[in-house]
């Protein structure tokens, strides 16, 4: 079964991470399929928006697949490949020449927050729970998402979000500025309502604005800085504290 569900709605395209029985967590197959769709969308699509969300009702994405990560604990090359590939996916998503919207439809944790950071806008279901919990597991952000968010959020809010490593309500995450809008009702209607606010602005105009941001990120070598984040994080992945925290989750 596909780990990513793709649909085209004309004005917008949608990608859903499709592992609801495992918290929509990220494994190699998810990465490969995300990469495939993002490349195809970049090359050929003329839709105005991309919506990224999670299949099912409970999870947007709970970050790395902890079962898979633990199974690679003695394979440094594999873990390195996993993190760098995900970093590429985040950069591809960040620099897509259209408006990207993360719809946080449930738990958005760890790497899930990094993925959401790569989108232009984050809309959350009012019951969603959101947190850069990496710090409490013994690792810093590891896919370049910390570096991306630094470009987008006020410094003190960014620093607090990452160093407290708390799980926030959607309302609190909105107050911090990570979430732009809350959705209380039927999700498809409300997202379409949100999109309709900019319906008079063409795809070409929207992409021109996006290009301004992309050029700034290219000039400041953002992708290199994201890769540096991955390299700096890697040693922490093999720390006793990190492996113990993962084992504890799996044993529960
Ligand atoms: C890149 C670095 C990172 O991403 S660090 C962050 C890693 N993520 C996490 O630590 C979050 C792990 N998940 C959780 O804490 C809980 O599942 C949360 C999200 C709080 C939900 O709890 P609860 O509603 O009780 O559901 P549950 O734990 O029974 O989960 C349902 C099934 O999904 C699975 N699941 C969940 N998250 C992951 C994950 N990240 N990797 C692998 N599997 C995951 C659970 O194991 C559970 O599966 P099963 O039903 O026991 O087979």
154 CA distance to ligand 1 middle (Å): 29
**pLDDT score of 158 more than 70:** yes
236 CA distance to ligand 1 middle (Å): 20
Please count the residues of the chain: 252
Specify whether the CB–CB gap between 30 and 6 falls below 8 A.
Answer: no
pLDDT-based confidence at residue 188 (cuts at 50, 70, 90): low
Residue ranges around ligand 1 (CB below 6 Å) = 21-23, 25, 62-67, 107, 109-111, 133-134, 137, 142, 249
| Strand ranges in the chain using DSSP code E only, listed in sequence order | 4-8, 12-17, 49-54, 59-61, 99-104, 107-109, 121-125, 129-131, 168-169, 181-183
217 CA distance to ligand 1 middle (Å): 33
Q: Please state the rounded mean pLDDT for residues 90-114.
A: 97
Q: What is the pLDDT of residue 86?
A: 98
First to last CA, the chain: 27
Phi-psi region of 122 (alpha: psi -120 to 50; beta: other; left: phi over 0): beta
pTM, full prediction? 0.97
Distance between CA 227 and CA 222 in Å, rounded? Answer: 9
Task: Determine whether 204 is exposed, middle or buried from the number of CB atoms within 10 Å of its CB (0-12, 13-18, 19+).
Answer: exposed
Specify whether the CB–CB gap between 60 and 18 falls below 8 A.
Answer: no
Q: Which of 23, 114, 244 to mutate to test the pocket of ligand 1 (most atoms within 8 A of CB)?
A: 23
- Point out the ligand 1 atom lying closest to the alpha carbon of residue 58: 24
Specify whether the CB–CB gap between 102 and 59 falls below 8 A.
Answer: no
Which tens digits make up the pLDDT trace of 21-79? 999 999 999 999 999 999 999 998 789 999 999 999 999 999 999 999 999 999 999 99
- Which letter does DSSP use for residue 109 in this model? E
The total of other beta-carbon atoms located within 10 Å of residue 98's CB is 19
Q: Please state the rounded mean pLDDT for residues 140-154.
A: 98
- Point out the ligand 1 atom lying closest to the alpha carbon of residue 107: 19
Q: What is the pLDDT of residue 215?
A: 98
Of all protein residues, the one whose alpha carbon is nearest to atom 41 of ligand 1 is: 65
Beta bridge partners of 15: 6, 52
Of all protein residues, the one whose alpha carbon is nearest to atom 33 of ligand 1 is: 22
Q: What is the pLDDT of residue 13?
A: 95
Q: Please state the rounded mean pLDDT for residues 230-252.
A: 95
Q: What is the pLDDT of residue 186?
A: 60
- Beta pairing, strands 49-54 & 99-104: parallel
């Amino acid at each position: 079964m596909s780990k990513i569900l793709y649909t085209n709605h004309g004005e917008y395209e949608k990608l859903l991470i499709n592992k609801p029985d495992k918290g929509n967590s990220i494994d190699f197959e998810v990465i490969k399929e995300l990469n495939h769709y993002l490349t195809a969308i970049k090359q050929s699509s003329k839709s105005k928006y991309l919506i990224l969300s999670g299949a099912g009702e409970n999870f947007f994405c709970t970050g790395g697949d902890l079962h898979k990560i633990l199974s690679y604990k003695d394979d440094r090359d594999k873990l390195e490949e996993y993190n760098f590939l995900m970093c590429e996916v985040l950069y591809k998503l960040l620099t897509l020449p259209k408006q990207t919207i993360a719809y946080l439809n449930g738990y958005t944790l760890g790497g899930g927050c990094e993925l959401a950071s790569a989108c232009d806008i984050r809309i959350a279901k009012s019951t969603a729970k959101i947190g850069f919990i990496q710090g409490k597991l013994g690792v810093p952000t590891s896919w370049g998402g910390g570096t991306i968010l630094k470009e987008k959020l006020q410094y003190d809010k960014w620093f607090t979000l990452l160093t407290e490593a708390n799980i926030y309500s959607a309302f609190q995450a909105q107050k911090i500025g990570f979430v732009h809008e809350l959705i209380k009702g039927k999700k498809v209607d409300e997202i379409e309502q949100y999109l309709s606010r900019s319906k008079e602005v063409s795809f070409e105009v929207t992409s021109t604005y996006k290009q301004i941001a992309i050029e700034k990120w290219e000039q400041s070598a953002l992708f290199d800085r994201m890769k540096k984040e991955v390299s700096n994080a890697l040693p922490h992945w093999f720390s006793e504290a990190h492996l113990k925290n993962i084992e504890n989750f799996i044993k529960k």
